[in-house]
Structure formats: C-alpha cells, structure tokens
C-alpha cells in the first residue's frame, strides 16, 4: 500500500528598495523605519574595508544614529570590518567570521545584519546571514554602481568554491535594500564605470528606449555626472526587480536572461585571477555575445556598432587576452552545470530584444573573439 501526502503552500515576499542620500543622518528615518517594530532588535553592522577606509567617519555616524534611535534598535557590537572585493568570497574564513559573530553576540532570527559595501561583500555576508539560524534578517546597503543598479535588489547571495564563481549560495530575499547615492561619489573611475555594464545588459535584452537613453547620456555618465547616474541606477534597478518578480525568482529552470554576457564574464574573471572586475568582465561578455549575434546574422553591423560605440564612449575595454584559448569554452560547460539543465544562453535578436539559444558554435566564438580584438586595436567598425 502506498500513501502519498502532497503539501502545497506559497509564501509572499515583500521588501523595499530605497534611494536616498545621507542614510545615517539622524534626520533621515529610512533605516529606522525598516527596523521599527514591537521589539528592539540587535543589529550587527558589517562594513566593506574599502568603504571603511574611504569613509572614516562612517562608524561614528552609525553609532550616533543608533544612539539617536536607541528606543528602536541597539548595536550588537562595534561594526565589523571585512575585506572587500572577490577575495572575501574566495576564502571561507570570511563568511565563517560572520557566522561566528552571530553566535558570540546573540544575533538571532529577530535581529538584523546590515551589510554595507560592494556586491561581493553583500554576497558573502548575505550567505552567512542565510545559513545562520536558518536565516537572519538582512539589510543590504550597497555602495557601488553595480550593486545599486543590479545585484543588491535581487534574492541571491553566494561565495566561490572549488575554483567556481558562486558555487555555494542561497536564494534569500533581503528585508530591505537601502541605497545611498553619496557612496558613489568616492568610487574610483573603474568602479564608477563597471556597474553601468549591467544596465547595458538589461537594456539590450529588454528595452530599446533605455538603450537609447544610455546612448544619449553616455558622455555625461563618463564625466561622472550624478544626475544621469542616479536616473540610470533607479531605472536599471526597477527593470531587474520587474524581471525577478515576473517569472522565476529562485531559478528553478535553466533560463536566466539577466545573465546575458555572463557565461564568458564569470570565466574571464577567474582566468584573469580577478584582475578584470565583474562589471568589466560583463562588459566584455556582452560585447562578445553581441558580436557572436552579429556573426550569426541575428543583428546587423549597424546595431553591433551602436553597442560597441556606447561601450567605448563609457570607457570600457572590449578585449582581454584571456579570451583566447580553450579555457574560455570551458566557461560554457560550467555555466550549464551551474544552471543544472540544458545550456541556455541569451543572445540578441535586435536591440532591446533577447533570444535564448541552447547551443553555441565554438568556431564562431573564436571568430567573435578575434573580431573583438581587431576592433579594440585598430578600427572604428566591426565588419565580417
């Protein structure tokens, strides 16, 4: 005799994504409004070392803010500083340090971890929060263009393992995402530029009007004008949020359109020993898959040149020597393994519209790499 019981339930997720300035000014109530509740929770602040170095006043600002609102929340301990960049995801000791802190300072499921930093630190601390007590409430405070316009608004967190990017992780929505535009003012030119690649990505596969807006505002973005930077971040974040909410937020399938350009990007980061930063690698990956789309006859030369021209106006490099060789092709296999199903790659059908394919021709990939190299070194146009 067989007995089968079937369980079905749904859990709605809701969290605010806020955009502000001077987040820790006591006059700004955005953070305290997130924390306000029936209890007075502990909050463990974790800060990216690069942010702490650039903003030496930040820890005191957090302390003053907590003292102002001591009836709403308390600091669990002095804010923790952790190394930033991909290094924090490559060594398990960093996420274990966060897990240990939850034990030492009594951070329970009614407490919060508030992480301030770039996308890598948000990934790592988010992973530690998700596995501690089966989930501690997380507030993300992203400080880079890439994390504000893309990664922080989603539901993923991770660390690297076995030489593979994002091998360990969970799908765990944050309780809130609080973006302070003032953090962007102290970014170096590379980090200011790098995050814009994620906006180009989502515009190319979803919204021609946004791509045209990026074309029109590329020079202003390159000159570090704050007005177009703010507008592009909010617009990009909204498009990423709409996609996440619309279909497959926990990626049960093999379709990941928001990873346009990422199969090569993830491999390039590793092959360059992370000399090429994530946003820079994504820009190269987008350029490669756009060129591949052209070589396949899916988009025109005019369309391809608009993409390349936008990237060059913004100051992106379009080629890295690590693209040559068979190691890049291995990235396709790893991407498929990461998806857990058939290979599904997003290419371009036209500007503003992506199309999914389930195979790529290795010879055409190498040809596309050669075209990118030629374009980077010599000409203003890519031709067949």
Domain map (residue ranges) of the chain: 17-186, 189-377
Q: Decide: helix, strand or coil at residue 223.
A: coil
Give the pLDDT of residue 382: 46
189-377 folds as Dehydroquinate synthase-like, alpha domain (1.20.1090)
Contact 307, 238 (CB under 8 A): no
The predicted pLDDT at position 383 comes to 44
For residue 341, the tally of other CB atoms under 10 A from its CB is 12
Task: Tell me how far CA of residue 44 lies from CA of 111, 115, 140, 252, 359, in angstroms.
Answer: 8, 8, 12, 32, 45
Residue 333 sits at φ, ψ, to 5 deg, of -65, -40
Q: Which residue shows structure tokens 């007995």? A: 3
Beta bridge mates, 81: 47
The whole-angstrom separation of Cα 94 and Cα 38 is 32
Amino acid 380: pLDDT: 52
Q: Which residues of the chain fall short of a pLDDT of 70? A: 248, 251-255, 338-341, 378-384
Specify the fold of 17-186.
Answer: Rossmann fold (3.40.50)
Tokens coding 171: 């799908």
Residue 138's H or E segment, with its range, is strand 137-142
As to burial, measured by CB atoms within 10 angstroms (0-12 exposed, 13-18 middle, 19+ buried), residue 116 is buried
Q: How far apart are CA 32 and CA 86, in angstroms?
A: 30
State residue 229's pLDDT score: 98
For 34, phi then psi, to 5°, come to: -70, -35
Contact yes or no for 204/348 (Cβ under 8 A)? yes
Nearest CA among 31, 16, 34 for reference residue 177: 16
pLDDT of residue 255: 55
Burial class from Cβ neighbours inside 10 Å (0-12, 13-18, 19+) for residue 181 reads middle
Tell me the whole-structure pTM to 2 decimals: 0.90
């Amino acid at each position: 005799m067989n007995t089968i019981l079937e369980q079905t339930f749904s859990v709605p997720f809701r969290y605010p994504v806020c955009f502000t300035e001077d987040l820790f000014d006591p006059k700004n109530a955005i953070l305290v409004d997130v924390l306000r509740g029936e209890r007075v929770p502990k909050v463990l602040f974790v800060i990216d070392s690069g942010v702490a170095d650039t903003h030496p006043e930040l820890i005191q600002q957090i302390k003053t803010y907590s003292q102002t609102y001591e009836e709403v929340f308390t600091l669990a301990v002095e804010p923790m500083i952790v190394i930033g960049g991909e290094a924090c995801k490559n060594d398990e000791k960093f996420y274990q340090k966060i897990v240990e802190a939850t034990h030492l300072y009594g951070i329970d499921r009614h407490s919060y971890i508030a992480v301030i930093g770039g996308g890598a630190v948000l990934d790592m601390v988010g992973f530690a929060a998700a596995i501690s007590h089966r989930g501690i409430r997380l507030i993300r405070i992203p400080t880079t263009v890439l994390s504000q316009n893309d990664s922080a608004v989603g539901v993923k967190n991770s660390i690297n393992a076995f030489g593979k990017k994002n091998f360990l992780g969970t799908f765990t929505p944050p309780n809130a995402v609080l973006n302070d535009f003032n953090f962007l003012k102290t970014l170096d030119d590379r980090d200011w530029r790098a995050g814009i690649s994620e906006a180009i990505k989502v515009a190319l596969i979803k919204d021609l009007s946004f791509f045209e807006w990026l074309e029109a505002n590329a020079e202003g973005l390159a000159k570090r004008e704050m007005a177009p930077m703010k507008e592009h971040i909010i617009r990009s974040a909204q498009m990423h949020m709409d996609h996440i909410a619309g279909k497959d937020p926990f990626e049960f399938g093999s379709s990941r359109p928001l990873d346009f350009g990422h199969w090569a990007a993830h491999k390039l980061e590793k092959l360059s020993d992370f000399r090429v930063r994530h946003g820079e690698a994504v820009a190269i990956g987008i350029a490669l898959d756009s060129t591949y789309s052209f070589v396949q006859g899916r988009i025109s030369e005019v369309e391809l040149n608009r993409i390349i021209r936008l990237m060059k106006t913004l100051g992106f490099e379009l080629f890295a020597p690590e693209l040559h060789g068979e190691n890049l092709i291995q990235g396709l296999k790893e991407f498929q393994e990461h998806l857990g199903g058939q290979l599904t790659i997003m290419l371009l059908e036209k500007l503003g519209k992506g199309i999914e394919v389930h195979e790529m021709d290795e010879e055409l990939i190498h040809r596309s790499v050669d075209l990118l190299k030629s374009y980077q070194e010599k000409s203003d146009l890519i031709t067949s």
